[in-house]
């Protein structure tokens, strides 16, 4: 019954947004209250979980989104995004702009949360779409899937690190990173193909508004250098990477704390804002107030929808769905490569139900840890492949209760129904591809 209630809540959101044209923020909040009340949670607790979910997500990525949109406005208005588009297309080739976006996402999301990475790279995605004259939706899917693959599979992202620790694989972190980088490649390729085949058929408002690339370049006059253009992206990504490495290496003291401080997404993104200041044509009210104000206006609806998604996910998380999964007898699935289906299905059920890939990775790894010991699974490669199976489930699927789904939807201008075709279906195919590749790798190397 609990799973049926959660499914009905998701259907309610899709129906309200797609058919009744209700704003996603309202739909998500109403669905959160519906699921909480229908699941039998105390009414006072439902209100508390909605507030905690909204506020909790704002705590983690609220300021990140604000800083990211400010960077994006500066990159776009200064012409830096278009300079970056030229460089990327020159390296990858103008005939494969979606591949360029997928590769960038694959690299960036290793140290950076996919939500933050998408916000950081949103302007570059738009610029590349205009430069190559392809649909913005196809570039959005390519970027999102590239980011999503390494986010769920490759440390030092917190989810895979936590999963490794929970199943007793902390000593094999290097092996897990290497295996994750390899296993993520087929997932990225599937996302890229989906972006080209399906995303290209989805048209958003930005496609119609897009000017001719040469006209855009001419409107900026003198373009900023490639160094200045990339600096606002490179600075936060590099800082977050250093912070993740410092955390992974452990240790205490001023140096570690300093790098962890600089590597926190909030600090890193705001330092990225300062790195974008040299791109301003002048330091006056038009830029320092006008451009920044425009970034704040763009951030507002994204913040509200993302927070509402967090409220929906938190209510679901507190209905006891994880306890019901834990009570199931999952050891009967078998051993060897067949066992990998167990963590995949648990993680996929959790991801689909409550929205957070990191939460799915953490809870699933905790649930299967006793089974890993019971089945005698040891060694770096075997344990790494268990983490990959959990990660495969944690990317299956991204939909309305996932903050990343709303970040991608809102920043790309897609309708919810189109986002389901583009984003949700691509993550389903990525997850299925990843578990199959992981099982084949097990049969070959374990």
Note whether 281 and 287 are within 8 A (CB): yes
What's the total number of domains in the chain? 1
Q: What share of the chain is helix, strand, coil (3-state, %, to 5)?
A: 80, 0, 20
| pLDDT of amino acid 304 | 85
DSSP structure class, residue 20? S
Quick: pLDDT tens for 258-301: 988 998 888 988 999 999 999 898 888 888 899 899 888 878 88
Within 8 A by CB and 6+ apart from 143, the residues are 101, 102, 104, 105, 118, 121, 125
In what helix (H) or strand (E) does residue 292 lie, and over which residues does it extend? helix 292-317
pLDDT reading at 202 higher than 70: yes
CA distance 246 to 171: 16
pLDDT tens-digit readout, 301-360: 878 887 887 888 788 878 887 676 556 655 555 567 888 998 999 899 888 877 878 878
- Contact criterion met (CB below 8 Å) for 434 and 190: no
Q: Enter the pTM of the model.
A: 0.73
pLDDT tens-digit map of 120-147: 788 778 878 877 888 889 999 999 999 9
Q: From CA 323, how far away is CA 340, in angstroms rounded?
A: 20
Whether the pLDDT of residue 213 is over 70: the answer is: no
Q: Phi then psi for 334, rounded to 5 degrees?
A: 125, -170
* Burial class, 155, CB count within 10 angstroms (exposed 0-12 / middle 13-18 / buried 19+): buried
pLDDT, the chain, mean: 84
Return the closest-CA partner of residue 322 out of 38, 29, 6: 6
Q: How far apart are CA 399 and CA 376, in angstroms?
A: 36
Q: What percent of the chain has pLDDT over 70?
A: 92
| 3 state SS of 271 | helix
Residue 287: give the domain boundaries.
Answer: 1-445
State how far the Cα of 392 lies from the Cα of 402, in Å rounded to an integer.
16
């Amino acid at each position: 019954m609990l799973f049926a209630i959660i499914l009905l809540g998701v259907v309610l959101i899709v129906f309200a947004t797609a058919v009744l044209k209700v704003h996603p923020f309202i739909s998500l909040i109403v669905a959160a209250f519906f699921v909480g009340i229908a699941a039998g949670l105390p009414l006072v607790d439902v209100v508390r979980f909605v507030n905690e979910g909204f506020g909790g997500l704002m705590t983690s990525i609220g300021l990140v989104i604000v800083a990211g949109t400010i960077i994006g406005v500066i990159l776009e208005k200064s012409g830096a995004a278009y300079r970056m588009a030229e460089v990327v297309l020159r390296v990858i080739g103008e005939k494969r702009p979606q591949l360029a976006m997928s590769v960038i996402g694959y690299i960036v999301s290793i140290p950076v949360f996919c939500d933050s990475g998408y916000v950081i790279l949103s302007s570059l995605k738009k610029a590349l779409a205009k430069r190559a004259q392809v649909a913005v939706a196809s570039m959005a899917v390519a970027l999102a899937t590239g980011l999503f693959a390494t986010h769920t599979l490759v440390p030092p992202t917190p989810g895979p690190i936590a999963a490794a620790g929970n199943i007793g694989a902390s000593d094999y972190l290097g092996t897990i990173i290497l295996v994750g980088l390899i296993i993520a490649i087929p997932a990225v390729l599937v996302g890229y193909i989906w972006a080209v085949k399906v995303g290209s058929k989805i048209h958003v408002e930005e496609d119609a508004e897009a000017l001719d690339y040469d006209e855009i370049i001419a409107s900026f006059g003198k373009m900023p250098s490639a160094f200045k253009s990339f600096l606002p992206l490179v600075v936060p990504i590099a800082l977050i990477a250093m912070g993740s490495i410092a955390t992974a290496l452990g240790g205490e003291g001023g140096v570690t704390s300093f790098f962890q401080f600089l590597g926190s997404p909030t600090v890193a993104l705001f330092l990225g804002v300062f790195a974008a200041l040299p791109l301003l044509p002048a330091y006056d009210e038009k830029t320092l107030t006008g451009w920044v104000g425009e970034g704040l206006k763009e951030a507002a609806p994204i913040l509200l929808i993302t927070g509402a998604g967090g409220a929906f996910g938190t209510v679901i998380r507190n209905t006891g769905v994880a306890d019901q999964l834990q009570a199931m007898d999952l050891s009967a699935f078998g051993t060897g490569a067949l066992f990998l289906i167990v963590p995949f299905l648990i993680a996929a059920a959790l991801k689909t139900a409550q929205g957070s890939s990191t939460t799915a990775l953490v809870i699933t790894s905790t649930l299967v840890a006793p089974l890993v010991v019971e089945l005698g699974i040891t060694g770096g490669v075997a344990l790494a492949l268990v983490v990959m199976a959990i990660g495969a489930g944690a990317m299956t699927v991204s939909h309305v209760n996932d903050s990343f789904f709303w970040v991608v939807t809102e920043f790309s201008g897609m309708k919810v129904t189109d986002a389901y075709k583009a984003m949700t279906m691509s993550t389903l195919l990525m997850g299925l591809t990843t578990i199959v590749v992981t099982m084949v790798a097990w049969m070959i190397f374990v």
